[in-house]
Structure 1
């Protein structure tokens, strides 16, 4: 009898140990089926209970959809009890891959979307600058992740320039210049003042948001990389970013540096001044077949002012505007070593007086 009792106890102990071991492994892998509480990164959210509505299955059903992108949808709502508008990005995560953030960025457990969430948390979840869009909170759900940001009522620079193009908005030169200075200031912080330095890797007008005062906020750090001082560049397995804003050396070598960000910024400067995007059909009709080479020809021509957005001409600022176009040319030099750094760019732009 004692033999059977011992046998039963041994089997039971083995089963319990097996269950506990599997639960522990699942916890470590991040597959443990639980709903994590909100991770708060900003004092603007004083209590995690303010985000408790995101724990409901129909959390977003009554919210206003304001945007849609490759990673998910963006909604707008008021932060309960704060009287402040917030933007909530919903990043859909298939249940089979709904992993918690692992310790290593390159872990095989992390798919593309999880790496992007991790990049957001490790950058704007941890640092603050007036020209960066801060991540306020992160909420994990079984099938998705919510990233909570300050709401920027003036939308993106891309939207603003499209509004100028169709006549629904006005962007005066002083405003455009101030936006350029703001982006440069944000880049200077990322590249030169923060340690480790951070390379954004996807600078473009759609990722520059405008606050209530039309101040620039660099956003969308999903592709951002932190670069230790001991390293000179980031090497990737494939080109990431947006066509027209990607530095040529990145295409050729898959190596990305802060000077690659400067190239993208130079294209943004050009877009601010000429009012055209790299993807515009206009550049397919030019001899150069591209914004950067077209800009170089125009700046060195006898009539460089012809490159300026017609809505900016005749306002008395042509001299300053042409200086900005020259800075755009410096930033988009083919050789990255010939491009200025972000501090130099910010200094050059701030020295241009209205």
Structure 2
């Protein structure tokens, strides 16, 4: 009876007599110990004896529900705290990033009064731009160039800083009236140029690199826009090539090698280091400026486009660029990628070694009719030395220039997938320069000792 836990007396209709006179929940053993006692005295009134004693639940068989709740509560609190903390951290990071970007843009002058000037460099002071805002500001400036986009002037600020100011006429005046001297066709052209101005401001205005020409400031006026740049006294790569061909300017191969390396470094930054990527779309010698140290500066970002990292290409509505430097796939499909800039750079390499532009009459008299095809056939047939400019020969750089022509051919293959990227091009040019460095002259070897006299 000590280990008796359940007592089932159902199914005994003849059982008679009173219950034992014991406490309701205790039983006295022979040793005198009180033990817990549980009795189940149930009888089915219908006489059904199918109920199993094991089916009666034991209250001590499972822990109470409150104990389970106490065990689960720390886990729930931990999960909720982790989720709430993570969300709070993400929201705080986004808010902090937005505030930091807003502060940086305000310091750069990106958010400014719509009708006022914009400053993109700490080198420019507001009082310098006050002079450009006057109506007669350009009258005392030196005109140094004129192109399709407008005139370029040279001026000196009060602190002695020399800058170049590009003037681009508006299609309409600020009061909404059309400029009287412009025809309808000219108005369309200027309207397109205004879009190019916005593209240039939105790209190079906020990009800084050693081999890119920075936009220092933008001054909107009622009749024109003024873009302020650093002044490059050595002009453009096109000017240097033409001056060398005319015989009144020095531009030897070491200087050209330096320019080529600078262009490659600038393209690597635009294509691979800046986010989003920037495609220039109009790379040519006229858009490569040379600073005081003959370092290349990529300029004129009027046709440049920003490409999101998730996109492989951008589709244009029409072809933009310069004939002879446009990649064939861009001309055929209107889809341009960074490999289109690589193609243009390959043409520039060929121009710098050959001393001939794609529009040179020499190529019109050949079977290939263009610089790229002629150069490709010459290198394939082992006639690369014939392509080198005669005025560059005789200085000991023929081998290096022949290797650069091979790089130019790699950059201008028809399939853009087979062209190297800008980083590969820069590395190849650097390796070529190292391989072709003049080796030091060998020191004279000592004369062998005289033979021993014979015995």
2:385 is aligned, of 305, 321, 332, to 305
More divergent stretch after superposition (238-247 vs 299-308): 299-308
* Paired position in structure 2 for 1:184: 264
Match of residue 140, structure 1, among 220, 234, 237: 220
TM-superposition CA deviations, 1:296-347 (whole Å, max 9, x none): 1111223321100111112111111111000000000001001000000000
Over the residues paired in the alignment, what is the CA RMSD in angstroms?
1.7
Return the match for 1:263 from 318, 335, 343: 343
* CA deviation after TM superposition for structure 1 residue 115, in Å: 1.5
Query: Is the partner of 2:248 in helix, strand or coil?
Result: coil
Query: Would the alpha carbon gap of residues 191 and 98 (structure 1) be closer, same or farther in structure 2, given more than 3 Å must change?
Result: farther
Q: Is the contact made by 1:262 and 1:341 (CA closer than 8 Å) also made in structure 2?
A: yes
CA distance in 2, matches of 1:84, 1:160: 24
CA drift of 1:98 comes to 8.3
Q: Trace 1:129-278 onto structure 2 (pairs within 5 A).
A: 129-278=209-358
Cα gap change, 1:57/1:97 in structure 2, threshold over 3 Å: closer, same or farther?
closer
In the other structure, the counterpart of 1:27 is none
1:70 corresponds in structure 2 to 148
From 137, 153, 160, the counterpart of 1:59:
137
> What TM-score does the superposition give when structure 2 sets the normalisation length?
0.66
Q: What's 1:281 paired with?
A: 361
Q: Which residue of 2 aligns with 1:324?
A: 404
2:121 to 42, 45, 68: 42
- Relative to the length of structure 1, the TM-score reads 0.85
Distance, in Å, in 1 between the alignment partners of 2:296 and 2:212 is 8
Structure of greater Rg = 2
Three-state SS of the structure 1 residue aligned to 2:302 is coil
Higher relative contact order (CA 8 A, sep 6+): 1
> What is the distance in 2 between the residues matched to 1:267 and 1:350?
18
Decide whether aligned partners of structure 1 residues 67 and 302 sit closer, same or farther in structure 2, where only a CA change above 3 A counts.
Answer: same
* TM-aligned CA deviation for residue 118 of structure 1: 1.2
2:419 is equivalent to residue 336 of structure 1: no
* Matches of 1:247 and 1:290, distance apart in 2: 13
CA contact (8 A) 1:98 1:144 kept: no
Q: Does the residue aligned with 2:206 lie in a helix, a strand or coil?
A: coil
What is residue 207 of structure 2 aligned with on the other side?
127
Kept in 1, the 8 Å contact 2:173–2:222? The answer is no
Distance of 1:348 and 1:279 partners within structure 2:
27
**Partner SS for 1:213:** coil
Q: Which runs of 5+ in 2 are unaligned?
A: 1-112, 177-189, 438-455
| Contact 1:184-1:345 within 8 A present in 2 as well | yes
Q: Name the counterpart of 2:431.
A: 351
CA change 1:98–1:126 in 2 (3 A) is farther
CA distance in 1, matches of 2:310, 2:173: 37
Residue from 166, 188, 191 that aligns with 1:89:
166
Match of 1:12 in 2: none
C-alpha distance in 1, partners of 2:132/2:270? Answer: 31
Shift of 1:95: 2.3
